[in-house]
């Protein structure tokens, strides 16, 4: 028994080192978190950069909307892009000190008296070409009509933030002018159009109230993470088995250890490499989350409370899912003759994972339904579905126990089945076995 354990340990060590010392593993493990950190920092850096204010001319031949438009733009200058619709009671100096660079404008005076639209266009375009202004907008005479067309001519047309601020301010100004013909003020309209304060509370089986909604994203993230990880490392096992078969290393290895020892060692070694990479990714994600926490809390994001017991169950189901699908990939690798055939047959476990992933959407919507219970017990789908049920609302202990028993038994059954095919298939070359031959290998091994 000690000799068997030692042989398996040697295989585990070999497979683990072979994967984690590859440049592809190191790059994928550390570059992905680094990119995530950079992507979280870039928006902060971009919005902290001071940009040159836009010199804008509002040409209003009607003389009715320019003042309202300028007022709306000045509000964006003092309060920023996101607060364009909010009233402020602060002093002008206080608001200017808080102004957001992306919403900066310098309004340039321009007289439209006794000028037609063609002359206005010509003069303002010349001002842009001479560098006197950056942009201009001409208010059409029928600006209150829904068919009225507003066009902004700008040297900085690609600045979508400034364009959005101008669009918002223009809409507010035109709306105010339209409302001036009615008995409703703009403030009254904004009050009527304000959103209701709506939130979702989840009632647990124990009667406790919890914030709802945020668990959908967490559950979906867990299912997606398991799906992606199993897909990547399933293909890794398939490639490793085929490499040993094509190079005929398996013949040498079988003289030193039993096929079942080699297969179990390979699965555990690759699994440990997978957990190593996953741990680094999750640690990096935690750092990004901690860095972004003040911003998320300010936006009203609710951090789900996850118990240590739930984390342990996630890990157990991840391991169950890994060994379930990894055994199938190892079976395929030992049965086929080349990577092309392996890629074709790998569609079977990949399709099973994809179907299981989509079934998780049913579980997310109603984790306590009968179909969700069945999905969280069945092999192949349970490793993705049960973690979602646990984070949404912990199911009864007997359901978790039943799911564990069924899936652990399925893992041992699949490993036993795969090892019998693995034993014969690794020594077969040049001919893909038929289905009857596979059954014969299982019986005779």
Phi-psi region of 207 (alpha: psi -120 to 50; beta: other; left: phi over 0): left
The answer to whether position 309 is within a domain reads yes
Classify residue 206: in a domain, yes or no.
Answer: no
pLDDT number for residue 97: 39
The CA distance from 222 to 202, in Å, is 20
Check whether residue 139 and residue 18 sit in a common domain: no
Domain membership of residue 374 (yes or no) is yes
Partner residues linked to 138 by β-bridges = 59
Grade residue 402 by pLDDT with cuts at 50, 70 and 90. very high
32/180 same-domain check: no
Q: What is the pLDDT of residue 201?
A: 66
Burial of 279 (0-12, 13-18, 19+ CB in 10 A): exposed
Work out the pLDDT band at 38, boundaries 50, 70, 90: confident
175 domain-assigned = yes
Most confident of 98-102, 217-221, 270-274, 297-301: 270-274
Q: Please tell me the least confidently modeled range out of 1-5, 202-206, 287-291, 344-348.
A: 1-5
Write out the residue range of the structural domain in which residue 263 sits. Answer: 2-37+213-444
Same domain, 162 and 248: no
Q: Is 170 part of any domain? A: yes
Neighbours of 292 (CB within 10 A): 15
Q: What is the CATH number of the domain that holds 158?
A: 3.40.190.10
Residue 125 lies in a domain: yes
CB atoms within 10 A of CB 393: 15
Residue 200 tokens, joined: 């979702």
Query: Are residue 177 and residue 235 in the same domain, yes or no?
Result: no
289 and 438 in a common domain: yes
Say whether both 319 and 390 belong to one domain: yes
Compute the half-sphere exposure of residue 338: CA atoms within 13 Å on the CB side of its CA: 3
Average pLDDT over every residue of 276-282: 86
pLDDT tens-digit map of 327-381: 888 888 877 777 777 778 888 888 998 998 888 888 888 888 899 999 999 999 9
Own/partner long-range contacts of 337-344 (Cβ < 8 Å, ≥24 apart): 337/245, 337/428, 337/429, 337/430, 337/431, 337/432, 338/242, 338/246, 339/239, 339/242, 341/432, 342/238, 342/239, 342/242
Give yes or no for a contact between 136 and 170, defined as CB atoms under 8 angstroms apart. Answer: no
142, 157, 189 - which closes a domain: 189
Q: Please check whether residue 48 lies inside any domain of the structure.
A: no
Q: Where are the beta strands (DSSP E) in 105-172?
A: 105-108, 135-138, 152-154
Q: Which of 174, 189, 204 is the last residue before a domain boundary? A: 189
For the chain, the domain total comes to: 2
Angle at 438 between CA 435 and CA 443, to 5 degrees: 130
pLDDT at residue number 302: 64
The secondary structure of residue 131, as a DSSP letter, is: T
18 & 145 share domain: no
Statement to judge: residues 282 and 171 lie in one domain: no
Return the percentage of the chain with pLDDT > 70, whole number. Answer: 76
Whether residue 407 sits in one domain with residue 258 = yes
Tell me whether residue 207 is in a domain. no
Of 132, 154, 189, the one marking the end of a domain is 189
Query: pLDDT of 203-239, one tens digit each?
Result: 666 666 555 555 666 767 777 888 888 888 888 888 8
Pairing mode of beta strands 54-59, 152-154: unpaired
Q: Is residue 148 domain-shared with residue 256, that is, in the same domain?
A: no
Contact 324/379 with Cβ under 8 angstroms? yes
DSSP secondary structure string for all residues of 160-187: HHHHHHHHHHHHHHHHHHHHTTSS--HH
296 and 397 both lie in a single domain: yes
- What average pLDDT does the structure give for the chain? 78
158 vs 201, higher pLDDT: 158
Task: Report the Cα–Cα distance between both ends of the chain, in Å, rounded.
Answer: 21
Same domain, 18 and 60: no
Closest to 12 in 3D by CA, of 269, 323, 276: 269
């Amino acid at each position: 028994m000690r000799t068997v354990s030692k042989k398996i340990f040697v295989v585990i060590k070999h497979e683990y080192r072979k994967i984690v010392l590859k440049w592809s593993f190191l790059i994928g493990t550390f570059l992905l978190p680094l990119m995530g950190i950079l992507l979280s920092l870039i928006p902060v850096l971009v919005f902290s950069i001071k940009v040159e204010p836009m010199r804008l001319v509002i040409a209003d031949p009607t003389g009715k909307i320019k003042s309202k438009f300028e007022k709306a733009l000045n509000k964006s200058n003092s309060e920023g892009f996101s607060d364009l619709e909010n009233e402020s009671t602060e002093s002008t100096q206080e608001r200017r000190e808080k102004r957001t660079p992306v919403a900066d404008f310098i309004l340039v005076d321009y007289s439209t008296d006794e000028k037609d639209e063609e002359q206005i266009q010509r003069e303002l375009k010349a001002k842009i070409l001479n560098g006197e202004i950056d942009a201009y907008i001409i208010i059409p005479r029928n600006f209150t009509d829904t068919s009225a067309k507003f066009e902004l001519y700008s040297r900085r047309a690609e600045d979508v933030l400034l364009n959005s601020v101008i669009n918002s301010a223009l809409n507010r100004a035109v709306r105010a002018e339209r409302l001036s013909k009615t008995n409703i003020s703009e403030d009254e309209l904004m009050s009527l159009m304000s959103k209701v304060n709506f939130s979702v509370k989840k009632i647990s089986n124990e009667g406790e109230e919890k914030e709802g909604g945020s668990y959908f994203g967490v559950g979906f993230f867990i299912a997606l993470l398991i799906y992606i990880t199993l897909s990547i490392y399933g293909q890794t096992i398939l490639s490793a088995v085929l490499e040993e078969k094509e190079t005929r290393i398996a013949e040498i290895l079988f003289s030193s250890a039993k096929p079942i020892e080699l297969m179990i060692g390979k699965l555990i070694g690759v699994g440990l490499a997978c957990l190593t990479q996953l741990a680094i990714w999750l640690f990096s994600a935690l750092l990004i989350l901690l860095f972004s926490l003040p911003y998320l809390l300010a936006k009203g994001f609710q951090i789900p409370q996850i118990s240590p017991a739930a984390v342990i169950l996630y890990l157990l189901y991840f391991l169950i899912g890994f060994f379930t699908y990894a055994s199938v990939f190892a079976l395929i690798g030992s049965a086929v003759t080349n990577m092309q055939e392996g890629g074709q047959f790998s569609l079977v476990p990949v399709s099973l994972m994809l179907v299981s992933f989509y079934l998780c959407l049913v579980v997310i919507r109603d984790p306590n339904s009968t179909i969700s219970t069945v999905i969280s017990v069945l092999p192949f789908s349970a490793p993705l579905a049960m973690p979602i049920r646990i984070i949404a609302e912990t199911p009864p202990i007997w359901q978790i126990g039943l799911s564990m028993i069924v899936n652990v038994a399925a893992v041992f059954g699949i490993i036993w089945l795969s090892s019998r095919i693995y034993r014969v298939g690794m020594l077969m070359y040049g001919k893909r076995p038929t289905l009857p031959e596979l059954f014969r290998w299982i019986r005779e091994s």
